């Protein structure tokens, strides 16, 4: 009874991979829509429209920190990037700097993910875990054994867990580089929507590559470990009988 409750609370606490990336998706749709609305309906300049549309992601990040009532390192970094980028853009009046600043948000997330892997605590595991366990106590127990090094294929499992986060980190950093290069080489009006295409494309690519390279192999390892444990328990019962 206690075990079931614990698993349920874990599933409630840990968001899915898509939920982990939802802030990035929100930061695409809202600013893009705001930019075209402010520029078209109010006739604002490119710089002014970009500046005002960037306020929403900054406010959203602050609200997230206030709502959770605790300091989130990644959210704080994103907030700093937003605020500093907004301030620099107002000082310079350069719309290209505004567009490049958006890429810095992706790089902040990507670098944070890579650092978490180096520290031995892959950040994306929190989103992947409920997706693979599906609320099954047997799979939960199998994950714990594999993650703790108590299973025969623990090393392979832990390697795939790190690979999952590394891929996400690299994809987001590369997306940042592409966006910054585009901000200074592509016409501003084009880059406003193309930057969003870069981000959505990066997230789609991350999901596809991570699925084949890490998520699916980890799911198979968990299934195999569940079967191994069940077979071991059956043998114990047979011996006891």
226 vs 200, more confident: 226
30 vs 17, more confident: 30
Average pLDDT over residues 204-211: 92
**Cβ-based neighbour number of residue 3 at 10 Å:** 10
Whole-model pTM over 0.85: no
How far the first Cα of the chain sits from its last, in Å, is 27
43 vs 143, more confident: 143
> pLDDT, tens digit, for every residue of 148-164?
999 999 999 999 999 99
CA distance 95 to 47: 5
103 vs 17, more confident: 103
Q: Please give the pLDDT value at position 5.
A: 43
Average pLDDT over residues 2-28: 50
> pLDDT, tens digit, for every residue of 31-68?
656 666 766 666 666 666 666 666 666 676 667 666 65
> pLDDT, tens digit, for every residue of 208-227?
999 999 999 999 999 999 99
What is the band of 3 on the pLDDT scale with cuts at 50, 70, 90?
A: very low
Q: Please give the pLDDT value at position 74.
A: 53
Q: Please give the pLDDT value at position 223.
A: 95
Q: Please give the pLDDT value at position 212.
A: 94
Percent of the chain with pLDDT over 70: 61
Mean pLDDT of the chain: 77
What is the band of 99 on the pLDDT scale with cuts at 50, 70, 90?
A: confident
196 vs 223, more confident: 223
């Amino acid at each position: 009874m206690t075990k079931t409750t614990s698993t349920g609370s874990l599933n409630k606490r840990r968001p899915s991979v898509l939920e982990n990336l939802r802030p990035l998706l929100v930061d695409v749709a809202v600013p893009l829509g705001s930019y075209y609305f402010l520029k078209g309906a109010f006739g604002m300049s490119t710089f002014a429209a970009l500046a005002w549309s960037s306020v929403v992601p900054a406010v959203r990040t602050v609200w997230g920190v206030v709502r959770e009532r605790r300091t989130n390192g990644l959210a704080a970094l994103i907030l700093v990037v937003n605020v500093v980028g907004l301030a620099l853009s107002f000082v310079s009046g350069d719309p290209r700097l505004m567009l490049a600043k958006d890429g810095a948000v992706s790089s902040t997330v990507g670098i944070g993910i890579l650092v978490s892997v180096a520290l031995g605590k892959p950040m994306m595991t929190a989103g992947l875990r409920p997706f693979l366990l599906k609320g099954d106590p047997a799979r939960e127990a199998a994950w714990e054994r594999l993650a703790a090094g108590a299973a025969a294929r623990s090393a392979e499992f832990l390697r795939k867990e790190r690979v999952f986060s590394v891929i996400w980190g690299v994809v987001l950093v590369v997306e940042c580089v592409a966006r910054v290069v585009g901000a200074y080489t592509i016409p501003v009006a084009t880059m406003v929507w193309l930057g969003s295409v870069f981000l959505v494309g990066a997230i789609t690519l991350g999901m596809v590559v991570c699925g084949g390279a890490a998520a699916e192999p980890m799911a198979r390892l968990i299934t195999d470990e569940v079967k191994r444990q069940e077979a071991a328990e059956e043998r114990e019962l047979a011996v006891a009988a």
